[in-house]
Each structure stands twice: as C-alpha cells, then as structure tokens.
Amino acid sequence: MTPDYDLAVIGGGPAGVAGALTGALAGLGVVLLDAAPRLGGQYFRRPAPGFRAARPGALHRGLDRFTRQCDDLAGRADVLTGHRVWAVGRDGGTVTVRCLAGDREERPRTVTARRLLIATGAHDRPLPFPGWDLPGVLTPGAAQALLKGDLVVAGRRVVVAGTGPFLLPVAAGLAAAGARVLGVHEAGGRGGLTRHPFLAAGKLAEAFGYGARLARHRVPYRGRQAVIEAHGGDALTHVTIADLDRDWRPVATRTVACDTLACGYGFVAQLDLPVQLGCALRADPYGDLAVTVDAGMRTSVPGVYAAGETTGVGGAVLAEAEGRIAGRAVAADLGRRVPPDPVLSRRRDRLAAFARALGEAYPVRPGWRGWLRDDTLICRCEEVPLSAVREAVELGATDARSVKSLSRAGMGWCQGRMCGYAVSRLAGGAAAGDSRDGGQARPGAGPAAFHRPIAQPVRLGDLAGMAAEAPPPGPPGAPAEAPRPPTEG
C-alpha cells in the first residue's frame, strides 16, 4: 500500500507546527493532526473566531510569529484539526495513524505516512492533598487554558501555588484579567535559578517582567510555602498554607479565604503514542519519563521522530527549535538536500541546557507525603484514598502498575495522568530530586510507561470495524478530495 503522505505530524503546538512547516518547505507531502479545533497546543491555545482578548499579546508571547507559521502551513500541507489520535502503528516502512474525526459525530479515520513526528506535548503534574477534589481547585494549566482559550477568569479570589516558573505567567495573567490573586506560593526557594546564573541570564528579563506585573497588582510572591489542604463543602472556601522546611515538611500554617486554587508542580510528557510504538524512554531532569532521541530528534524506532515536551519538558521556544530540527531530519532521511544548520543545533542545545537547569532548580521534595491523611483521595477518578494505596503496598505492590491492579488507582477517565506521579512515588518509585540524596527515576515505574493500545476514548463499534475499514474520508465538513501525495525521494 502506498502511504498517503511523506510525513504525518501529531500535535499542533509549537513543535508540531514547526516540524510540519519545515518538512513542507523541503518539498514533503505533510499532514498535521490535532485534537483541538484550532492549532496552538496548550501554549498557544486561542479563542474561537469572534472572541478576542483586549490585549492578546499579554496572554500569548510570540503569538504573531506562530500565527504566521500556521498561515504558511495551511497553504503547503493538509491540516486536520478536530482529529483525536487514539492509536499508531508501524508496518515496514509505513506508519498508520488511527483517529476519530469530527466534533459531535466523530467518525473513524486512518492516515498513513512514510515518517511520523510525535509532538503531543505535556500535561500538568499535580500532587494530592486533602480537599484537592473540591470544585474550585484546578491546575495552573487549566486556569491558563480557560483564560487563553475561552477568555474566562477561573475565579474572583485566587491562590496560585506549587513549584516552577510557570506559576508566574499564570498569576500575572489572572491578575491582569481582573482576578484578585491573593498570592503566589512557591514550594521551593525564591532563588530558583540563582545556582545557574549564566543559564538564567537569558530569562531574567522575562522573569522581571512577570514580577513587575505582579507588583503592579500587589500580588505577593512567597517561597518555601505550599497549600497543604483545601476546605469547603460544595465548593472551595479557603485553603491552608504552610511554611515549609527544605524537604517540604510543614513548620507553620495559616488559612486564607478564596474561591479558586490553581496548584501544580510542573509538567509530565504525553507518552501514550511513543509507548505504543515501543520508543525507548529515559528519565528527564524532573525525574519523569521522556522519549530518547538523537541529534536529529529520531527515536529508537525507525521512521519515528519526537519533538517538544515529548522529549522532556522545556517550554515553547525549545519545542519550536526541536520541531524544526525534526522536520529537517525527516527531509534529509527521505533524500532531500538539507544543508547543516549548526546555529539551530547550538540554539537547541543551549535551550535544552536551560530546561535541565529548571529541573534541578525546581525539584519535588519528599515532604509532600506528610500532607496526606488516610482518607485523602489519591486517584480522584476512581475515588481511591491513600489508605487503599498503602494497603496495596503492604500486599506487595512495588510500582504504579501493581498498585493499579490492587486498588484501581489510575483506572479512571484520565488513565493515571493526574494521579500517576503520586501513585508511583507512594509505591516506592524515586524521582530525581525527590529525596535529599537525589534518587533516580526507575523506567517503567510510573503509569507513563504503561503500554496502552488505546490512547483516547474510542467506541467499541469503531474497534469492531477496524478489520473492514473503508478508505479514509476527507476532513469533516469538506468535500472528498485526494490527500497530498507523497513525493518521490
């Protein structure tokens, strides 16, 4: 069977768009698939047409550049938004991408290509604490998505907490949009990157900018503090904030009245599709798993490439650089003349070094376990409390997979994306920075390493119809047309 395209790209964020555009400019037949109705990913999540922020640049750094890339890509490749990819496979030199296309009436679609670039990004990493299941408690990424994508302010009186530099733009954006941000509580020290001054130098202006915006709105920024409990009945009413020691053990507490808490501890790469294909994984600077790639963003599986947060959380600028490198590598591997670009490679190396510095500067310390009680829900989807996880460990569970089998933790709608980190650590898995002696993550310890043949919810009828699958139809709402053919190479 002749593949539909030279290159299929999964993910419409900075890495995916850059990779698809680079490949298309090199003369490849390219298709880009993304689940959202508009390109942008989590970073450039944009409102629907007709909705416009008063100052869009305040919410989307680099949006104009990204928009130009999307416009350029639309004339050179097939861009299929509203396509949820649930399975990928490889047979010889052909990669098969199975997805569900459409909005309310999803229908199965299959796309084939000679090469595959996975740029599926990352999701928030929360830590459990009593009351984190209350309405009004959400992750910083969710608060930012509401603001960027729907122009909705998450609440009136907001507390922002967790660890990592992402807390700053979230708090600044909420304050600028009219929320009263009561404080930003960084569980680590306020110094952050001071141990890496040369790497931090390139980000100082950005950090000062966020600091100035917070100061303008009188938002305090405090280090060595964390929200260790949320309170309320039908909704959040107040939170308990603790001063922490170096290992994040509470030493003093106070309560703050609020209606919204945005709390998160960094990000975790989306690895369902790379794991389906058997791509080799490694521990990233945060102690989580990421896809192993070479200098050209090639994975261990021939014909499969990865870029952006999939290879380790590092931000939108690094993701774009990796996407460009991946697109160039695909073109070269398919016989196109692609001259070396040492400037781009050096830039990627410099940005990757900064990402590693972030991982070292904002680790998760083990004291968070002391915030928990026996009745604290660890898996919110299946309502599995800490006592059930501990019972599973007493019965012999040594990792997240065995805890899942004994307690149902991770079997819910999110498939362990929200509770996976906590379950793995409670089961005994160590993460980089999660102990004073710098324990290292064990590959396969967390749910990210599970092999899931289904990455997205899919109807049983679609599974049953796979054997008798018809030729793929055109994009939803568009007349049938032939896909852009792969070029000879």
**pLDDT (tens digit, 9 = 90+) per residue, 94-132?**
999 999 888 777 888 999 999 999 999 999 999 999 999
Question: 286 and 253: one domain?
Answer: no
Between CA 18 and CA 348 the distance in angstroms is 14
Whether residue 85 has pLDDT greater than 50: yes
Do residues 230 and 141 share a domain? yes
pLDDT at 430 over 90: no
CATH number at residue 196: 3.50.50.60
Note whether 130 and 153 are same-domain residues: yes
The residues, any chain, with a CB within 8 Å of residue 306's CB and separated by 6 or more, are 117, 118, 119, 274, 279, 291, 293, 297, 299, 326
pLDDT of residue 389: 95
Mean pLDDT to the nearest integer, 41-53:
71
Instruction: Flag whether 227 is in a domain.
Output: yes
In a domain, 325, yes or no: yes
Give the Cα separation of 95 and 88 in Å (integer): 7
CB atoms within 10 A of CB 204: 11
pLDDT band at 435 (very low <50, low <70, confident <90, very high): very low
Whether 424 is in a domain gets the answer yes
- Structurally, how many domains does the chain consist of? 3
What mean pLDDT do residues 240-262 have?
Answer: 97
Instruction: Pick 476 or 245 by higher pLDDT.
Output: 245
Q: Which of 195-209, 244-258, 413-427 has the largest mean confidence?
A: 244-258
Judged by average pLDDT, the poorest of 99-113, 261-275, 301-315, 341-355 is 99-113
Name the least confident of 102-106, 139-143, 156-160.
Answer: 102-106
Same domain for 190 and 141: yes
Dihedral of the alpha carbons of 117, 123, 127, 128, in degrees to the nearest 10: -120
Predicted pLDDT of residue 189: 81
Domain boundary among 265, 282, 316: 265
Quick check: 58 and 176 in contact, CB under 8 A? yes
Residue 478 confidence (pLDDT): 43
Domain final residue, candidates 265, 290, 316? 265
Same domain, 148 and 272: no
CATH number at residue 382: 1.10.10
240 in the same domain as 347: no
Determine the pLDDT at residue 399: 85
pLDDT for residue 437? 34
Domain boundary among 265, 288, 322: 265
Question: Which residues, listed in sequence order, are joined to residue 98 by a DSSP beta bridge?
Answer: 87, 110
Q: Are residues 287 and 256 in the same domain?
A: no
pLDDT band at 358 (very low <50, low <70, confident <90, very high): confident
**Per-residue confidence at 49, pLDDT binned at 50, 70, 90?**
low
Q: Which of 51-60, 329-338, 410-419, 447-456 has the lowest mean pLDDT?
A: 51-60
Residue 63 has pLDDT above 90, yes or no: no
Closest by CA to 269, choosing from 247, 280, 284, is 284
Q: In the predicted model, what is the mean pLDDT of residues 273-292?
A: 86
The mean pLDDT value of the chain amounts to 85
- Is 475 part of any domain? no
Looking at residue 205, its pLDDT comes to 67
pLDDT at 431: 45
Which percentage of the chain shows pLDDT scores above 90? 61
| 236, 312: one domain | no
Do 86 and 107 sit in the same domain of this protein? yes
Q: What does the pLDDT look like over 478-488, one tens digit per residue? A: 444 445 556 55
Check whether residue 379 and residue 424 sit in a common domain.
Answer: yes
Q: Quick check: is 482 in a domain?
A: no
205 or 281, which is more confident: 281
Q: What is the mean pLDDT of residues 306-329?
A: 95
Domain-located, residue 479: no
CA atoms of 39 and 75, how far apart (whole Å): 14
Q: How confident is the model at residue 476 (pLDDT cuts 50, 70, 90)?
A: very low
H or E segment and range at residue 274: helix 272-277
Q: Are residues 233 and 140 in the same domain?
A: yes
Same domain, 13 and 57: yes
Report yes or no on 162 lying in a domain. yes
Domain extent for 377:
367-459
Q: Is residue 472 part of a domain?
A: no
